[in-house]
Chains A and B, each alone.
Chain A
């Protein structure tokens, strides 16, 4: 125990004890140390060790809960503090530890990683109380995955138990990260571990009866695990949260089997507070289901869904007088099978949206086959961010140039073999807001590209062009082009390179 406690106390906590004098200094110490700590992704080994330690710490904590603190462990746990303040007398040191005001302690704890907080909680009763302060438990991310996929860390089961037992009522901002393993691993484990993870998430959700969540996120870090669950199981767990949390403001349930009835429950209980709803790739929701959300939740400011849920009615509902300005609308246009037919949205509906929310971002991700673009970009559309994940034809890009006056960012991953010269020039002419562009497997002649950059000038804050995209012509070779483009941008620019190896 002593060893395991000593590490964190000597490392990040050292300055904490030394700087007890001033709150500002305290802040400084932790502001500086915390981010660095966070971004060093812990290695797997370290994670393993941490999980181990976490278990021990939590077990220690449990004991403490039962019979108070035993003298022996107290003493051994205090030792690290002494070491950090060699110049001070022991007495003074001991008293300082204890008299650190609770709110300062809380403040410090906020900047500590959970594990370090857990260690610190073993120092003395006061610190232990601080560890359990509700303020520290408002926000939590459960990571549920089996050790087989060793790239990810997992939230320790003992910790989950503790949280449900002691802190579920404090939780407000919750997310679940669930990961699914390959079929082979599933066979090896003998159980369907990914489904287990998703199920574990559902089980935790259904136990969150007496809490009032403000945000909830269900995130599959691999393939959509929640889709694997029996729909009824998932729905009933989700409904528990919807019914009990009367003030959900943010809900991220992409790739889940959520359905129309459960959305109705959501609306019935949280219509006043809901601001963000992300539900891309939820096949059980119908256009009517999402329309019901838009009709009732007037505070909705961000919405993410698939194109098949988008309707003229939905846009009209979102631009009704009672509705706040929408800020972000993300649409995924995904082809389920080649040659799929897509419906069209009326220009008047988009116009209504722009009138109501003049500044809203319309983010569209296209994952379509080339011949499925028929209904798109025929009329003016207020799209701001366009991402073409698959090959898109010259013709469609030509229409983009004509009909997307609000375009800010454009990513074209691939295009046919003919150069995109006229299309880019037209986009430069017509899309006067365009400030970012990325081109993958496309071709543009160097001259046309220089012309494009010249027309856009320094408003192009992001210009990410693969080297192979640029075709040298009579005016510019590959060696000249970066100077020419840099000149027009007013900063140094190079095409993106890939190693030749």
Chain B
């Protein structure tokens, strides 16, 4: 029987390193390359003109490359589920191939198509080539959950074998063996649509800064590598004014659409490094951007709610404001902050902005100034940003808004100072906001502070020709920092991660812990607390209020019923609820009880009679014997191993067992690595806690 293959292009718009396409060609009698799009949905979808243009250009390029091999690209209009049954019959298809899509939406779509193909007796072959690694393998190696810190991710990746080597491009000979007759009316039936057909107005559309397509991508790859050699800088380049502009060596949109294989980039970088540095293996940092992409793909692959706050187990629930007006100002570059507005203008016009610029506008929209949900920002990026992968876009937004991945939130990018540091001249602003072009550099980042005479001389009066700043940054960021503290102080597993959340207060001492979940969002953890061991660090001046002082809290509702819990209260040794200790690197000692007048003055409260002195003394001093998920325990169990120089099995239950195993696995590791393991354990625990908390 004849083998009639169809290769379905989605991402992976390239002929080089395309394993699924190779499968389509292998031993086939005919091969057709199809791309399916629905012009009806094109206009409605949340994708801007620049992204469509990039896609169409990539398809054009693919078609012309196929032409050179005496083949063509078949662009089919419709929905995959409607299109395939027709194609299967019409072309007598026996084999369908496509690249594996690791994103939840894609997995679902592909699952349906595979099932349908089965019904038609069509063999489906799926190959992974959009990511460097097998994401499921990474998840498996991290105890079946995706790593939630980049460090943890890197550690796992460093234990993996190298990514699979890229395959060569499809050749003329291969294609000749399975040439498909191209009909006369091919261009009528299967042509690539124009932007007009998709419903976009193209009058006055400036030419594209980023031209889509595999040929362009490979061209850029060469320039990219040349530049690396030229500047002999394989490390993280320092950011300067130039970095802000679209670079002819930029690759990210090409990776997004798969015009460039990430493995080709990976191996090119690797070989270049080995040639230049003569070291045997390059550091992971060489592949920074590729690995970030991989990191977010891994985090998202099994999480259909990865792009929203609701129902997203890894996302901190933050009470963002809803403010469509402010959002529109931000999205359209009318904030009144030239730095923010220039970035948003560049994004809209060109479809790409530097990653620091992304940080700046994302911080401004979310935790920094406007306090608007990252989801809104993500949608704007999805529309405008050429390289917006679903996973990477959502993940980065969560990261930058401090909604996941254990971020510090103390630092907000200043919408004035940050730009000034990056481009002191202000030329970047002048390019994207021409109305400000005559402002002196001194005021160009804060035109509202320019004297009126200067504003007039520059032909741009703030409030008339250019908007006033929409928010007082100092005031806004002050309030938002407080709000962020409020949010983070209620997350026990985050406590101690943040500098600000730990700023001391006695407030919880004066207030009983609220046991009422439905009515309080600020209630600390469950009532009984064990104070931190007093051996922890010698700085009694700054107690971590959230953990320490609470032990003195008068709990009126428990008066008369509640002494300190003896050690047989639920503890990890029971095994039934092994609670990994909170990952806290913050270790302040409690002040001695003598410094807490309240604990003495509260004679009526029986619990006050034994505040710090009796934290559930456990027999052999085994630190594991106490309440689950108290920070006191967390510290104790973590400190002790550290004092002994390597992780021990002090904790009982699952946690301890796993550690034991891991230790056996890596008996021969050196001291440095042991430290690394220690950190890994912390991260693991941190992650376990999150998942335990948020499921």
Contact with A along B509-530 (1 / 0, CB 8 A): 0111011111111110111100
Given contacts A363-B503, A385-B503, A414-B418, contact A438 B561 (CB under 8 A): no
Total interface residues on A, CB under 8 Å, equals: 130
A497, B694: Cβ atoms under 8 Å?
A: no
Least CB separation from B328: chain A residue:
A184
A182, B672: Cβ atoms under 8 Å?
A: no
A441, B414: Cβ atoms under 8 Å?
A: yes
- Docked CA distance A141–B679 (Å): 38
B319, A221: Cβ atoms under 8 Å?
A: yes
10 A-B pairs with least C-beta separation: A440-B411, A250-B510, A492-B679, A113-B517, A182-B323, A41-B317, A28-B570, A114-B518, A113-B518, A39-B693
Interfacial chain A residues near B410, Cβ < 8 Å: 387, 411, 413, 438, 440, 464
B504, A361: Cβ atoms under 8 Å?
A: yes
Interfacial chain A residues near B574, Cβ < 8 Å: 28
Partner of B417, one of A28, A116, A391, A468: A391
B355, A222: Cβ atoms under 8 Å?
A: no
Given contacts A365-B478, A406-B541, contact A501 B289 (CB under 8 A): yes
Given contacts A150-B322, A185-B322, contact A414 B585 (CB under 8 A): no
A110, B565: Cβ atoms under 8 Å?
A: no
User: Which one of A81-89, A229-237, A257-265, A325-333 contacts B?
Assistant: A325-333
Is B595 in contact with chain A by the CB < 8 A criterion?
yes
Contact with B along A365-377 (1 / 0, CB 8 A): 1011000000000
Is B492 in contact with chain A by the CB < 8 A criterion?
yes
Closest CB-CB distance, B416 to chain A, in whole Å? 8
Interfacial chain A residues near B537, Cβ < 8 Å: 435, 459, 461
- Docked CA distance A496–B321 (Å): 27
Contact with A along B389-407 (1 / 0, CB 8 A): 0001001100110000001
- Given contacts A31-B528, A363-B504, 11 further A-B pairs with CB under 8 A are A24-B568, A36-B692, A36-B693, A45-B310, A328-B504, A409-B502, A436-B502, A486-B672, A491-B675, A497-B150, A499-B399
A-B contact list, 12 entries, CB within 8 Å: A37-B517, A39-B491, A54-B518, A141-B522, A173-B514, A299-B597, A391-B417, A409-B503, A413-B410, A478-B285, A498-B399, A499-B150
Partner of A31, one of B293, B517, B570: B570
Is A433 in contact with chain B by the CB < 8 A criterion?
yes
B598, A275: Cβ atoms under 8 Å?
A: yes
Contact with B along A125-164 (1 / 0, CB 8 A): 0000000000110111101000011111101000000000
Interfacial chain A residues near B479, Cβ < 8 Å: 223-224
Partner of A44, one of B289, B310, B321, B692: B310
Interfacial chain B residues near A385, Cβ < 8 Å: 503-504, 542
B395, A499: Cβ atoms under 8 Å?
A: yes
- Docked CA distance A466–B521 (Å): 31
Closest CB-CB distance, A72 to chain B, in whole Å? 27
B518, A110: Cβ atoms under 8 Å?
A: no
- Docked CA distance A117–B288 (Å): 51
Interfacial chain A residues near B504, Cβ < 8 Å: 327-328, 361, 363, 385
Least CB separation from B238: chain A residue:
A471
B512, A139: Cβ atoms under 8 Å?
A: yes
Is B151 in contact with chain A by the CB < 8 A criterion?
yes
Interfacial chain A residues near B325, Cβ < 8 Å: 182-184
Is A320 in contact with chain B by the CB < 8 A criterion?
no
Is A276 in contact with chain B by the CB < 8 A criterion?
yes
Partner of A39, one of B236, B324, B483, B694: B694
B499, A139: Cβ atoms under 8 Å?
A: no
Is A107 in contact with chain B by the CB < 8 A criterion?
yes
Least CB separation from A214: chain B residue:
B510
Q: Taking chain A's interface residues, is the majority helix, strand, or loop, or is none over half, making it mixed? A: mixed
Partner of B400, one of A327, A359, A498: A498
Interfacial chain B residues near A308, Cβ < 8 Å: none
A182, B326: Cβ atoms under 8 Å?
A: yes
Is A40 in contact with chain B by the CB < 8 A criterion?
yes
B591, A359: Cβ atoms under 8 Å?
A: yes
Q: Which residues of A contact B (CB under 8 A)?
A: 24, 27-28, 30-32, 34-41, 43-45, 50, 54, 103, 106-107, 110-117, 135-136, 138-141, 143, 148-153, 155, 172-173, 175, 177, 179, 181-185, 214-215, 217, 219, 221-224, 249-250, 252, 275-276, 278, 299, 301-302, 324-325, 327-328, 330, 332, 334-335, 338, 359, 361, 363, 365, 367-368, 384-385, 387, 389-391, 406, 408-409, 411, 413-414, 416-417, 433, 435-436, 438, 440-441, 459, 461-462, 464, 466-468, 471-472, 477-479, 483, 486, 490-492, 494, 496-501
Least CB separation from B150: chain A residue:
A497
Q: Which residues of B contact A (CB under 8 A)?
A: 150-151, 235-236, 238-239, 252, 283, 285, 288-289, 292-293, 295-296, 310-311, 317-326, 355-356, 358-359, 371, 373, 387, 392, 395-396, 399-400, 407-408, 410-414, 417-418, 421, 424, 449, 474-475, 477-479, 481, 483, 486, 490-493, 499-500, 502-507, 510-512, 514-523, 525-528, 537, 539-542, 556-559, 561-562, 565, 568-570, 574, 576-577, 585-588, 591, 595, 597-598, 627-629, 642, 672, 675-676, 678-679, 692-695
Interfacial chain B residues near A413, Cβ < 8 Å: 410-412, 414
Given contacts A113-B517, A221-B483, A249-B510, contact A494 B151 (CB under 8 A): yes
Least CB separation from B540: chain A residue:
A359
Partner of A302, one of B239, B507, B527, B558: B507
Interfacial chain A residues near B356, Cβ < 8 Å: 468
A173, B321: Cβ atoms under 8 Å?
A: no
B322, A181: Cβ atoms under 8 Å?
A: yes
B679, A491: Cβ atoms under 8 Å?
A: yes
Interfacial chain B residues near A330, Cβ < 8 Å: 503, 505
B414, A414: Cβ atoms under 8 Å?
A: yes
A462, B492: Cβ atoms under 8 Å?
A: no
Partner of B557, one of A135, A472, A483: A135
**Which among B413, B499, B587 has the greatest number of chain A C-beta atoms within 10 A?**
B499
**Which among B479, B507, B527 has the greatest number of chain A C-beta atoms within 10 A?**
B507
Interfacial chain A residues near B295, Cβ < 8 Å: 499
Interfacial chain A residues near B597, Cβ < 8 Å: 299, 301, 324-325
Partner of A139, one of B285, B358, B557, B591: B557
- Docked CA distance A491–B642 (Å): 8
A492, B321: Cβ atoms under 8 Å?
A: no
B672, A483: Cβ atoms under 8 Å?
A: yes
- Docked CA distance A153–B517 (Å): 12
**Which among A36, A50, A115 has the greatest number of chain B C-beta atoms within 10 A?**
A36
B539, A408: Cβ atoms under 8 Å?
A: yes
Closest CB-CB distance, B653 to chain A, in whole Å? 13
Interfacial chain A residues near B359, Cβ < 8 Å: 498
Partner of A27, one of B235, B565, B585, B588: B565
- Docked CA distance A179–B318 (Å): 13
Partner of B283, one of A54, A148, A479: A479
Interfacial chain A residues near B503, Cβ < 8 Å: 330, 363, 385, 387, 409
Partner of A462, one of B499, B521, B528: B499
Partner of B289, one of A110, A179, A500: A500
Interfacial chain B residues near A406, Cβ < 8 Å: 541
Closest CB-CB distance, B310 to chain A, in whole Å? 5
